[in-house]
Amino acid sequence: MRSVVLTGVSRGLGAALFAQLAGRGDRIFAVGRRFSEEQLALATAEPDRITLDEAELADPTTLPLPDRLRDFLRGSDECVLIHNAGMVEPIGKIGELPDAGIVTAAGVNLIAPMLLTDAFMEARPAEATGRVLFISSGAAHRVIEGWSVYSATKRGAETFFDALSVEHPDLYVANVNPGVMDTGMQTAIRGADFPGRERFVGLHERGELPDPAEVAQRIIDEHVDRPITRE
């Protein structure tokens, strides 16, 4: 039995991952601020398989504690944690960024993944195999003017998961760059004012943004279904 803890499921890539994993029969513990009508209906119909945990990722006090995750993961043959939630805002020059926006982005992109991973590792059954995926971005490895907060928080989180891989070699750990896709994040990017905006507008206008369902399937094929080799 595979059990998946997944963040940011209400739309975009997270919604696609949720739908595909749920459709395969996996147990899902979804963490987020909101859920779709379809997800709410599925959780009502199959409460033993689908858990929707309302939390504000920017507020550490609302994140699920290890005991709650332990109850969900108990009896699993494989435990998977997918950090999908993320935010690109605030976009702007350093020196003109809103303090509250920086704090919120750091909470969602960096602090929440660290805390949730720590809780997951404490809760995971010792006999179960484990996977941890962090949905990152190419921006973690290059400077995009106006994206300093997003780039820094994604790069910091990647370093954390690199450390996780070293400390727990029995885990499958991956920092996943999903590439651009047609999501709400892209809408926010096109509506922002920064020097590279026209590139993203062009991708949208030319129809070159992949559907999130295609990206979700690729991530599942390459990282969730990939066999784990124990050393």
Structure tokens, 8: 């940011």
Nearest to 124 by CA among 164, 171, 88, 57: 171
pLDDT over 60 at 13, yes or no: yes
- What pLDDT digit, counting tens, does each position of 95-133 carry? 999 999 999 999 999 999 999 999 999 999 999 999 999
Cα–Cα distance for residue pair 141/158, rounded to 1 Å = 10
Give the sign of the dihedral formed by CA 110, CA 159, CA 16, CA 186: positive
* Residue 44, CA distances (Å) to 26, 37, 52, 95, 167 in order: 16, 11, 10, 47, 38
- What pLDDT digit, counting tens, does each position of 74-97 carry? 999 999 999 999 999 999 999 999
Nearest to 2 by CA among 82, 71, 78: 78
- Domain 2-179+215-224 fold is Rossmann fold (3.40.50)
- What pLDDT digit, counting tens, does each position of 153-207 carry? 999 999 999 999 999 999 999 999 999 888 888 888 898 788 888 888 888 889 8
pLDDT at 69: 98
pLDDT over 80 at 231, yes or no: no
User: What is the mean pLDDT of the segment spanning 199-226?
Assistant: 91
User: What is the mean pLDDT of the segment spanning 47-54?
Assistant: 97
pLDDT at 230: 55
What percentage of residues in the chain have a pLDDT greater than 90? 84
DSSP letter for each residue of 33-47? S---HHHHHHHHH-T
Angle between helix 112-123 and 148-167 (nearest 10):
20
CB 60 within 8 A of CB 112: yes
Residue with tokens 């989180």: 157
* Residue 33, CA distances (Å) to 42, 62, 111 in order: 17, 10, 16
Give the sign of the dihedral formed by CA 81, CA 84, CA 85, CA 90: positive
Q: Determine the residue type at 2.
A: R
Domain ranges of the chain: 2-179+215-224
Other CB atoms closer than 10 Å to residue 205's CB: what's the count? 11
pLDDT over 80 at 149, yes or no: yes
Cα–Cα distance for residue pair 190/199, rounded to 1 Å = 9
- What pLDDT digit, counting tens, does each position of 18-28 carry? 999 999 999 99
